Structure formats: structure tokens, C-alpha cells
Amino acid sequence: MVEYLVAVVAAVVLAALLAGQFLFQGVAYGPRSRRALTLLALPAAAVSVGVAALPSPAAWVRGALGLAVGAFVYLGSATAAVFRWRNRKIAGLIGDAATLRHRIAERQREVDRIYWQGGRAAPAIRQMVVHSEPPLLTRGECASAIQRYLEQAGGEARALRAQLAAWQAEFGRCETLELRGRARILEAVALDAPDAAARLALHAKLAALTLIYRDRPAPDPAPLGPPGLQDARQELVRLQEELSRLLQQRGALLQRRLPLD
């Protein structure tokens, strides 16, 4: 029982430290945001006073518990508010990725509908399809990325090799133009990777894609299709390129201390 209590307390303390680090280092504050954070202290103080007023055998226990609960409430509400504020700020600067993904999904359904009306199923073009050459890795960089990915496996190297084989099989079924689009998407998503392990996996996946791509450099001919298909596909390409650019810009902004106002 004591071990569980210690684990819960440690998790709460760690969450509080991470929230404090985000509030102090993640963004820069102006007069408006400072006033907002000051106002958030009022409900936290009310909660603290309410907890301190609860029946307890010792006044210092009520005071300590009230301060702890009030601080946790303030950190939680302030972190949520600043996180949402920062996301709204980023969306105002470069655009909303969620809205853009929704538009891409709608356009993809339109492409599928046109194909089915033409009597055949649409090919898989869920990822960005572009005609420009993507910035792929060299063969040496591919080998290095895959080696780093396997080295962090420890005793699970077999599982990671199986994952690499699955990626290669997946990419082997893709058209050349689709591989180009996936390469750009992987590079953009790698900028938002939450940790080093995720970045290693994304780089290894890009390396697996690159090796498949370089074995068949000739681009696929533009497919013919029912009327209206080409316009729909071009719009889909444009939206996916815009999403890739937005993700890259978002990754660059997240690496800076973004001012809220």
C-alpha cells in the first residue's frame, strides 16, 4: 500500500515539475497573458482555503494540504490554458492543421467517389502525391539510420528487424509518386516526434522507403481516369503539400519560446 502511495505522489510531483517547466520555459508572456494567469490564481486560492478548512487533528496538516492542492489546481489550470492559448496562437500564425486534415479527408473521399463512379476502385493515395523530387537520404545515410534504430533495441532487435521488413513490404506496394509523398510526410512528422526513440523510428522508416524508392527511380505515368478526377487529385496534392508545409512551420515554432501576446 505504501509503495502505491509513493508512486502516486512521485507521479504528481513529476507532473507538477513538467507543468512548471512548460509554464516558465515553453512560452513568453505579455501583459494580457500575465493578467490571465493571475486571475487563474483566484479559484486555486479558493480551493486551497476550502481544503484547509476541512476537519483535521492539526492545523499544520490542513495548511500543508491546502497549499499542495491549491498549487496543483493552479498548475493544472494554468498549463491547460497556456497550452490551448499557444495552439490558438500557432493556428493563427500558420493555419489550423486539424481543419486542413479534415479538408484532405473530404477531398480523398471525393477522389474515391469519382473512381467508383468510373467503375473501378481508387488507388491508395492517402499520403501526399507530388511531382517534385523529395529530399531523400543517401544510401549511406539510410544504412546509418537503420543501424541507429537497431542499436537502441537492446534484446528486441528481432522485433525491430521484423518491423523494418514490414515497412519495406508496405512501401514495395506503393507507386513511385506515392513514395515521394510519404517521404515528405515522414520528414515533416519527424519534426514533431515526442522523443529520441520516435525520431529514430521515423528516420529508419524513411530509410526503408528511400531504399525502395531508389531501386525504381522512373516515375509512374499519370493515371487516366473518369472526368473530374485530375482536378480532384490536383486539389488533394495542393492540400497535402500545404499540410506538410504547415507541419514543418509548426515544428519550427515549437522549438522557440513563442510569445502569447
Residue 39 is part of which domain span?
2-94
Q: How far, rounded to the nearest angstrom, does the alpha carbon of residue 134 sit from its chain's CA centroid? A: 21
Q: Residues 149, 184: one domain?
A: yes
The identity of residue 232, as a single letter, is: A
Beta-carbon neighbour count of residue 144 at 10 Å?
15
Please name the residues in contact with 261: beta carbons below 8 A apart, sequence gap of 6 or more. 29, 30, 31, 32, 33
How many domains are there within the chain?
A: 2
Residues 13 and 129 in one domain: no
In a domain, 231, yes or no: yes
Q: Are residues 60 and 168 in the same domain?
A: no
Q: Which residues face 28 on adjacent strands?
A: 259
- Rounded to two decimals, what is the model's pTM? 0.49
89/104 same-domain check: no
Per-residue pLDDT for the chain (261 aa), expressed as one digit of tens each? Answer: 566 666 766 777 788 888 888 888 878 888 888 898 888 888 888 888 887 777 766 777 778 888 888 888 888 899 999 989 888 888 888 788 888 888 888 888 887 787 776 544 444 444 444 444 555 678 888 888 888 888 876 667 778 888 888 888 888 888 777 777 788 778 777 777 777 888 888 888 888 888 888 877 555 445 555 666 777 888 888 888 888 888 888 887 777 777 887
- Residue 160 maps to a domain: yes
Q: Verify that 72 and 110 share a domain, yes or no.
A: no
Is 111 a domain residue? yes
Q: Give the residue from 48, 64, 94 where a domain finishes.
A: 94
Domain end residue (candidates: 76, 94, 112): 94
Judge whether 260 lies within some domain. no
